[in-house]
Amino acid sequence: MRFSLTGCFYILIASTACLAADNTDLPPTGSVQPLLVATGFEFADGPAFDKQGNLYVVNYRGNGNIGRITKDGTASVWSVLSEVAPLDSGTAQANGLKVDTEGRLLVADSGGGRLLRLSADGKRAEVLADRFGGERFKAVNDLALDTKGNVYFTDPGDSDADHPTGAVYGFDISTASTSRLVADLAFPNGLAVTPDQKSLCVGESARFRILIYDLADGEATNGRELIRFPKADADGVRGGDHSPDGMIFDTAARLYVAMWTAGVINVVDVATGKLLRQYDAGGSKVTNCHFFGTSLYTTVAAKEAVFRLDLGVPGFEYNPQ
């Protein structure tokens, strides 16, 4: 799989403050009550499920710990990143998570600037990537998989709207090689591959929008703005300068975006760039979300907790284990 860099993009769709009226299988905006699943996370993030229904979340009972919540609700520290993947200097800090086809946990280590892969028992770690072009990553933030097992991840570093130095990278699972997909972004954050595997969506947090890139032959091209979220409240939609964070797709190619300070999940139709629904995530500083079955699970840093939204729509299975 071959990756190439593209730094330009084209504006496709302007911001929208009105919810689209289609997609009637989705519950109406504001109609879903977040249900508390677990607490005890110093900065909850990176939810990921394995095939057995175990939920993995970062920072359980301490920063750098990866917690596991079983289907019966039992929570425990599953892996201590500083022990299985120690650094010569600094502290390992898990952020985004995904489970691969063999049940191993892929970890975006923001503290060490590394893409890690943990064994299925959480006791061993392998560094898949920690640099590009001889330069160390600064703070690997979040990651996504395609159905072939290739990994896409963001490194925002210290970028912002005035200093757009963040980038998106790809790790080719067949060649164990890393390439830079996109450069010059203002804090790239969450990302996800569309169910048809033809596009990559990336949240540009410092500019309050989602970008979309075509994926073909391992290259990301034709970057353009998918949606810029509304800046003002309107029609029951909470607006403002709220940064997009983690994201995930359902089987209908609708993108669910955790909106950091807004404390909501925005649902976007990727085909049109329209905002379809908005749901309460359980509290402010919602960092990420992940489907299991027909429920969406959210990680909420301000509540140090995980919540469940029973939406009744199935999530896309990016990982056919």
- From the number of C-beta atoms within 10 Å of its C-beta (0-12, 13-18, 19+), residue 171 rates as buried
pTM of the model: 0.92
* Cβ-based neighbours of 298, under 8 Å, separated by 6 or more: 34, 47, 258, 265, 281, 282, 286, 288, 289, 306, 307, 308, 309
Instruction: Provide the pLDDT for residue 231.
Output: 83
- From the number of C-beta atoms within 10 Å of its C-beta (0-12, 13-18, 19+), residue 313 rates as buried
Q: Is pLDDT of 14 > 80?
A: no
Domains of the chain: 9-310 (2.120.10.30)
Instruction: Provide the pLDDT for residue 62.
Output: 87
CA distance 201 to 212: 4
Per the prediction, the chain carries an average pLDDT of 91
CA distance 319 to 18: 33
Q: Is pLDDT of 274 > 80?
A: yes
CA distance 129 to 23: 40
86: its two tokens: 């120690």
Each residue's pLDDT tens digit, 29-83 = 989 999 999 999 999 999 999 999 999 999 998 888 999 999 998 999 999 999 9
| Largest Cα–Cα separation, the chain | 54
Instruction: Provide the pLDDT for residue 22.
Output: 58
* C-beta of residue 108 within 8 angstroms of C-beta of residue 140: yes
Residue 230: band (very low, low, confident or very high) from pLDDT cuts 50, 70, 90: confident
* C-beta of residue 213 within 8 angstroms of C-beta of residue 231: no
Each residue's pLDDT tens digit, 76-95 = 999 999 999 999 988 999 99
Residue with tokens 């699970």: 297
